[in-house]
């Protein structure tokens, strides 16, 4: 499966890919795909990395694990394929986008336009068994994605890290806070969005920070 990871990411993650845990994770995911439906499909497992090269990361948004319903997950945290009903967390993200910047939601839930601009939409766990949330947690993905966060932190350009919810905020220790900006708030899920996600204005704050660094801001508009 690792052969699907783009060359640029393989270079910055070489150490992590040489660990025994990476080999064990590959065996686990391969075995799962043989006996059950696993999301996202194998050719979309590394979509975030294919769309956002390591030297192009401006923002890192950290999710937990992929959507586990049919046709939802396509390798980008919080994003769903065109034509798929919007999950509650993504609906709340779009509500905050309108509140923050006055932008309407897109015609669908695909966040590919953000990823193409340098927003790394990274889940901590990159696969899941159909209908069973967190089923692939604790099998090695976390070590790999921790290495991704550390690689982005060690990169030459300052990055805005967006950490939504307690799970994501635990990753703060992996980030060089002297070089990068960290925005934290409650998670956009319906269980917690009213406890600090709504009104957090992440999109305008990200762009303000990028401008202060002399980096290009993100165009958060999605195709209508």
Distance CA 164, CA 157 (A): 22
DSSP conformational letter for 196: T
Instruction: Please give the Cα distance from 21 to 96 (Å, whole number).
Output: 38
Extract the tokens encoding 160: 């805005």
β-bridge partners, 16:
none
Count of other CB atoms within 10 angstroms of residue 170:
12
- Sort strands 38-39 and 128-129 into parallel, antiparallel or unpaired: antiparallel
Catalytic residues: 65
The DSSP bridge pattern shows strands 128-129 and 59-63 to be: unpaired
Tokens representing residue 158 in the block: 């300052």
Provide the b/e sequence for 209-220 (b: ≥16 CB within 10 Å): bbeeeebebbeb
Q: What are phi and psi of 210, to 5 degrees?
A: -60, -40
Residue 98: other Cβ atoms inside 10 A: 11
């Amino acid at each position: 499966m690792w052969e699907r990871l783009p060359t640029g990411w393989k270079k910055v993650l070489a150490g992590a890919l040489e660990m025994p845990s990476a080999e064990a994770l590959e065996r686990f995911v391969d075995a799962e795909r043989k006996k059950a439906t696993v999301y996202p499909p194998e050719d979309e497992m590394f979509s975030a990395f294919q769309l956002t090269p390591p030297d192009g990361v401006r923002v890192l948004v950290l999710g937990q694990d992929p959507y586990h319903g049919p046709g939802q997950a396509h390798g980008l945290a919080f994003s769903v394929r065109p034509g798929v009903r919007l999950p509650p967390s993504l609906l709340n993200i779009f509500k905050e986008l309108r509140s923050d910047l006055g932008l309407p939601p897109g015609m669908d839930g695909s966040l590919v336009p953000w990823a193409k601009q340098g927003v790394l939409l990274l889940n901590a766990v990159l696969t899941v068994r159909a209908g069973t949330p967190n089923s692939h947690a604790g099998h090695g993905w976390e070590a790999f994605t921790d290495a991704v966060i550390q690689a982005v932190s060690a990169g030459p350009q300052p990055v805005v890290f967006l950490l939504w919810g307690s799970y994501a905020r635990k990753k703060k220790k992996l980030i060089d806070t002297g070089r990068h900006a960290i925005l934290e708030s409650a998670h956009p899920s319906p269980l917690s969005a009213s406890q600090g996600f709504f009104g957090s204005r992440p999109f305008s704050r990200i762009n303000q920070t990028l401008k202060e660094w002399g980096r290009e801001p993100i165009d958060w508009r999605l195709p209508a």
